[in-house]
Structure 1
Amino acid sequence: MGKTNEQPMGFLKRLAGNQAGNVMAMVAAAIIPLAALIGGGLDMSRAYMARARMQQACDAAALAGRRAMTGASMSTSDIAEARKFFNFNFPQNTFQAADFTPVIQSKPSETTTVQVTAETTMPTTIMKIFGYTTLPLAVTCESRFDIGNTDVMLVLDTTGSMASNMTDTDGTVMTRLAALKLAVKDFYDTLGAGSDTTGRIRYGFMPYSSTVNVGYSLPSSAMLGGTAGDTWTYNSRRMTYYRDTPSTTNTCYRGYAGFGSNNCRTSASSAQSDSSNVSRSNCQTWANVSTSVSGSYPGTVTKIVYAAYSWNGTNPFPSSGSGNQKCVRQEVTTTHTTNVTGGTGNTSLNVWAYNDFAADVSTFITGASTLNPAFIDGTTSTWSGCIEERDTDSSITSTTSTSSIPAGAFDLQIDTAPTNTATKWRPHWPEIEFDRSGRWLNDNVYPDYRSGSGGWNACPSKARKLASYTSRSATPSGMTSSFDTYIDGLIAVGGTYHDIGMMWGARFLSPTGIFASENANAPNGFNISRHIIFMTDGDLTAYQSVYGAYGYQKLDGRVAATSTDDDGLKAIHKRRLEMMCNAIKGQGVTIWVVGFKDQPAAGTLDSTMLDTELQTCANSSNHWFMAYKPSTLRQKFKDIAKNIGGLRLSQ
């Protein structure tokens, strides 16, 4: 009996100890959880790749949308541009994702930030056998301009050629200046208002022609005239006066000569003996000629007064008579000691002296109506604000090294303090200027300086210092008008002197010059990025006969000898521009240059359309551009603003 029971127990023991049988059972039991793990990993991997691809599309859309924005919030076209980038990077049904529409908008609490969100699902492959048929996909992203403290000076060519028309790609006709005004507004819309806490943005403006209108922005101590009695010398005129004492007078008589001439006699009877016969009327015409004045002013002047003395021996000169009779005239010669100042006891000769004359400018620079010393009829002048430059170095030529600025060229020095006559600026005074021939150098400009037909003495619109604008319609503290109002008021007049515009753009921007107290630091204490946007529609010009920042070159010869022709002056001013640009970049300022001209012939290189000096003035070849249409100019200004601002993903 016992032997019979041992066999089943031995079998079970052997079965329990058999590993092959256990592995098969264990594998069978693990198939389901293993399938779940592998399937879940596969589906999650697919979902991860899909979400990564979707996030890339989101980021691309946000960046594209913000880059397209030109206003304070997204427009319909901006949203369409962003959606185009999203769809390109993540087409519908990618990874079998369900159809969806991304939400693209301006962030509600911060409209200049672009916000993109997207949600969808994708089907599972293996996990659906466990009841999980889809996996959710969701992404969100934001893009904004992050910009630190930024100061921008817009140095704008407002010369006469900016009044000429251009035709845009859509057929719209507008002046070049009108296109520039739109471009500057676009620049603001792209870069924005900034914030004193997160990143202050300030805009300044420097319209230029042959001078700049900066006088009322300067402290009076920087100008000649800031101290009572200050004078500056102008090419002008003064009335010549004489005194009766000391003077000498001589009277003689001359008989009429039908041919040749007779001597002047000490007695009328002797002169009558010399005379030929002539009618009474012809005698009177010959005898009563205009007074003659000869000599130099100031100095000794001889005046001769002529008068009909007798006809037919009758004195006083008869009022009637017929026939031909003897004719005598009286000549009274007076030698006067002259001067060029009026006053008690002085009498005007009614003759102008043309020369260099000093004029008191202490009242003129205040903006008060000031008697013009070039007139004697009470004519007054009011200063527009334009300046003549401080002392320069006339030895600078077209080949002078541009690596440094000569010690005596105060006009090219950005930060040198105005402490004396040589280093202070002088008021530009066209109404007082006359050349030596008597031509009034203000003869082509009305008193408001805005109607010049030739621009030979132009004064552009007033410059404006750096200021923050909360919007284009807002008027900053200390300013008289808004961003838009100022830009809309720009006028086009004068010649194209790039160097004067560039140097004053630098002075208004400098943290170590005359505006250091305003420019050195930002309220938040962080560094300031400084930029000059220089726009011109033409090549640099220079003329002998312009009265501008360097006086009247033809007579003053401040930049070069007065014999230097226009081409020679142009070459020198170009060299001075190069010096100025190198000095500005040496201070860490970024210079952008935009040329704006008519469309050239097909195949023309941009580099042939812009002065070489301006190309090298820009910080690099990526910092200068050409525009041939108004719409292109606007886009270039937007592009510069986007480069100044830091476009980045903020979420």
Structure 2
Amino acid sequence: MRPLADQNRTEPTTFSSCDRGNVAVIFGLSFIPLVLMLGAGVDYGRAVSTKSNLQQATDSAALAVAKTIVATTTNQQAQSQAQVYLLTNVRNAVAVVTKAEISADRLTLCLDSTAQIPTTIMKIAHIETITTKATTCAQTPGGMNGTYEIALVLDNSGSMSKSAGGKSKIAALRDAATSFVNNIYSKTTDVKMSIVPFSAGVRVLDPSVSSNRTLSWIDVNGNNSQHWLVFGDGSLVAATAKAAAKTAGFTSRFDIFTKLKSLNSSWDWGGCFEGPKYPLNVSDTAVDTSNAETLFVPFLAPDEPSTKDKYNNSLYTNNYLAETGGSCSGTVTGDWKLLTRACKYGKPKKDGSGAGPNSSCPTSSSQTVLQLTATQSTITTKISGLTENGYTNLHEGFMWGWRTISPTGPFAAGRAYATKDNHKIIVFMTDGFNNWQSATSTVTGSAYQAAGYYSYNGTANQRFPDGTATNGNGVNYQTTLEAAAGSSTDYHDTSRNMQDELTLEACTNAKTAGVEIYTIGFSVPVDPIDAQGLKMMQDCATDANHYFAATDVDSLNAAFASIGSGVGKLRLSK
């Protein structure tokens, strides 16, 4: 029998067991609040980050939309425009502009916005979202200071007929560009604008005006080295080719057009020109009548051979004359000789189904370049008539846009580059990318465009970059593309890279000269611009803030609306 003291002693093991149970209960009861506290910290941190992002996005939206306000702009319109910017710039949340208010003097825009941030761990407590808010006001002194020369360089290629959601891309462009013009003119009268529609080529002049064929900057005597390359009986020596054309009775391409018009009334000169040799074709070079290389050659797509492949398919795209007709005597062999035979234009005889001498030249009178003018109604009328057709040649469009605001040639309509408080601006819009039709297993490698052919029977095209430009990519495209002649390899992608290089060198040179460049890539989901095309437009712009990507009608309107160059220095007032 144990002593009484031993009988009353509590066993340590029993007490220890009870203690563990109590701790488990206490920990279990405190776990859920602890998790919620930690979760609240995580979600609160995300809310703080989103609030900062929302404020920045709301500030940016206010600054952008404030530029576009005109006398007729409503609060609802401003709210809708601001919403487009907000959706683009707010991350990881659903953001909404809840209010937009324009001041009575039209100089201040205030925005309220909210963002709903989805929670993570706090959902345990049935808290699904956290709401954060932002408020801002943007104020502008109003008006535009200085004088402005603005070139609207607008893609009119065939793909502009496709839908942008609710309307065609060309219709959306007409509306957005018209609003842009009206907006600018509501702020200043010290502005001139030009409109440069482009596709595979640019219709520079109205061909129905006879004096447009004798302008001092046109190569009317056939002295430019590129004038007779495809009309010189096979010779690529400029003097020899010119002599061959003279023997056939021609002193300029206008003489050939006279003959062609007698055969088909639509085969008269279409108002387009070909590009100068490189690097004149990427710079703003003054026209010098004593230097034929600075003069512009009228565009004339040559008749191409009727040669077929083993499946009886035509190798060439533009056969429109009989190769042994005209004033020719005897026969020649070989596609290059057939293509460049000048005598077939003497008394031309129609043959084939090619588009003719204006292939790659826009044929609609509404696509003629509108040179610099201060008349608002003339500008908006031109925009209202824009139509779509053909391939895309961004380089050609950009260069003619630059030339319209140039103080030198060919139009010499712009003020001098150093003119105080004068702003030279290009707004450059496309829905695509450089696209030059190829033609494998031919002596040219391609269809004919403003830059000629990929190759001249294995001889280099001197209009292409030669890799020597300090601001270029170092690729000699003259050598690369001359191999396209006679090759079964498709050089289309190489030609695109070449045209991109021409475009970017031109953009760089224009910026160096003091031109401000805005670019818009109109890339709709059903017909997108690829990554290479979008990057080229980004690189062409003055900086990242001068580039806009539009994916539908609303964002195209927003892009044009935000391009408020010189509208005045905006500031945030709240």
TM over 0.5: yes
Aligned to 1:332: none
| Unmatched tracts of structure 2, length 5 or more | 1-58, 81-100, 111-138, 207-211, 235-243, 308-315, 321-352, 439-445, 465-477, 485-490
Deviations 1:490-514 (A, max 9, x none): 2212221211112222222223443
Sort the Cα spacing of 1:648 and 1:594 in 2 relative to 1 into closer, same or farther, 3 A.
Answer: closer
Q: Distance in 2 between matches of 1:529 and 1:142?
A: 19
Which amino acid in the other structure matches residue 303 of structure 2? E
Q: Distance in 2 between matches of 1:647 and 1:538?
A: 33
Q: Distance in 2 between matches of 1:65 and 1:581?
A: 24
**Equivalent residues of 1:105, 1:115 under 8 A apart:** no
Aligned to 1:624: 547
Aligned to 1:429: 300
Aligned to 2:201: 211
Q: SS of 2:142's equivalent?
A: strand
| Unmatched tracts of structure 1, length 5 or more | 1-59, 82-101, 107-111, 117-140, 239-295, 297-352, 393-408, 450-454, 475-481
Q: Distance in 1 between matches of 2:195 and 2:214?
A: 18
**Equivalent residues of 1:158, 1:491 under 8 A apart:** yes
Q: Distance in 2 between matches of 1:144 and 1:497?
A: 38
**Equivalent residues of 1:209, 1:501 under 8 A apart:** yes
Aligned to 2:508: 582
Q: SS of 1:233's equivalent?
A: coil
Q: SS of 1:532's equivalent?
A: strand
Which amino acid in the other structure matches residue 563 of structure 1? A
Deviations 1:516-569 (A, max 9, x none): 4543389xx842111111101112223343322112435475233443321221
TM-score calculated relative to the size of structure 2? 0.55
Tell me the CA shift for residue 146 of structure 1. Answer: 3.0
Aligned to 2:535: 612
Q: Identify the match of residue 225 of structure 1 among 203, 220, 225.
A: 220
Aligned to 1:645: 567
Aligned to 1:388: 274
Aligned to 2:26: none
Tell me the CA shift for residue 175 of structure 1. Answer: 1.3
Structure ranking higher in helix proportion? 2
Q: Identify the match of residue 372 of structure 1 among 244, 260, 263.
A: 260
Q: Distance in 2 between matches of 1:582 and 1:142?
A: 31
Sort the Cα spacing of 1:147 and 1:615 in 2 relative to 1 into closer, same or farther, 3 A.
Answer: same
Tell me the CA shift for residue 434 of structure 1. Answer: 2.5
Q: Identify the match of residue 527 of structure 1 among 399, 417, 421.
A: 421
**Equivalent residues of 1:65, 1:79 under 8 A apart:** no
* Residue 385 (structure 2) pairs with residue 489 (structure 1): yes
Q: SS of 1:547's equivalent?
A: coil
Equivalent residues, number: 376
Q: Identify the match of residue 150 of structure 1 among 135, 148, 151.
A: 148
Q: SS of 2:428's equivalent?
A: strand
Sort the Cα spacing of 1:644 and 1:592 in 2 relative to 1 into closer, same or farther, 3 A.
Answer: same
Question: Superposition pairs for residues 91-106 of structure 1, below 5 Å?
Answer: 105=104
Q: SS of 1:611's equivalent?
A: helix
Structure ranking higher in strand proportion? 1
Aligned to 1:591: 517
Q: Distance in 2 between matches of 1:194 and 1:226?
A: 46
| Larger CA Rg, structure 1 vs 2 | 1
Tell me the CA shift for residue 385 of structure 1. Answer: 0.7
Tell me the CA shift for residue 195 of structure 1. Answer: 5.0
Aligned to 2:171: 178
Q: Distance in 2 between matches of 1:103 and 1:626?
A: 27
Aligned to 2:406: 510
Deviations 1:231-269 (A, max 9, x none): 94264699xxxxxxxxxxxxxxxxxxxxxxxxxxxxxxx
Aligned to 1:67: 66
Deviations 1:292-313 (A, max 9, x none): xxxx9xxxxxxxxxxxxxxxxx
Aligned to 2:496: 570
**Equivalent residues of 1:68, 1:78 under 8 A apart:** no
Aligned to 1:241: none
Deviations 1:16-37 (A, max 9, x none): xxxxxxxxxxxxxxxxxxxxxx
Aligned to 2:372: 466
Aligned to 1:17: none
Q: Identify the match of residue 396 of structure 2 among 500, 520, 540.
A: 500
Aligned to 1:361: 252
Q: Distance in 1 between matches of 2:568 and 2:305?
A: 54
Tell me the CA shift for residue 456 of structure 1. Answer: 5.1
Tell me the CA shift for residue 364 of structure 1. Answer: 5.9
Q: Distance in 2 between matches of 1:607 and 1:552?
A: 25
Aligned to 1:265: none
Q: SS of 1:222's equivalent?
A: coil
Instruction: Give the superposed CA RMSD.
Output: 4.6
Q: Distance in 1 between matches of 2:157 and 2:249?
A: 30
Question: Superposition pairs for residues 164-175 of structure 1, below 5 Å?
Answer: 164-167=162-165, 172=166, 174-175=167-168
**Equivalent residues of 1:390, 1:411 under 8 A apart:** yes
Tell me the CA shift for residue 588 of structure 1. Answer: 1.1
Q: Distance in 2 between matches of 1:389 and 1:456?
A: 13
Q: SS of 1:588's equivalent?
A: coil
**Equivalent residues of 1:371, 1:379 under 8 A apart:** no
**Equivalent residues of 2:204, 2:369 under 8 A apart:** yes
Q: Distance in 2 between matches of 1:445 and 1:70?
A: 46
Deviations 1:449-479 (A, max 9, x none): 6xxxxx756557211211112x4xx3xxxxx
Tell me the CA shift for residue 636 of structure 1. Answer: 0.6
Q: Distance in 2 between matches of 1:445 and 1:588?
A: 40
Q: Distance in 1 between matches of 2:520 and 2:292?
A: 36
**Equivalent residues of 1:232, 1:359 under 8 A apart:** no
Aligned to 2:437: 543
Q: SS of 2:148's equivalent?
A: strand
Question: Superposition pairs for residues 231-250 of structure 1, below 5 Å?
Answer: 232-233=227-228, 235=230
Q: SS of 2:194's equivalent?
A: strand
Q: SS of 2:545's equivalent?
A: helix
**Equivalent residues of 1:164, 1:176 under 8 A apart:** yes
Which amino acid in the other structure matches residue 529 of structure 1? H
Q: Distance in 2 between matches of 1:380 and 1:73?
A: 45
Q: Distance in 2 between matches of 1:596 and 1:79?
A: 22
Q: Percent identity?
A: 22
Tell me the CA shift for residue 599 of structure 1. Answer: 2.7
**Equivalent residues of 1:224, 1:427 under 8 A apart:** yes
Question: Superposition pairs for residues 342-353 of structure 1, below 5 Å?
Answer: none
Q: Distance in 2 between matches of 1:549 and 1:492?
A: 18
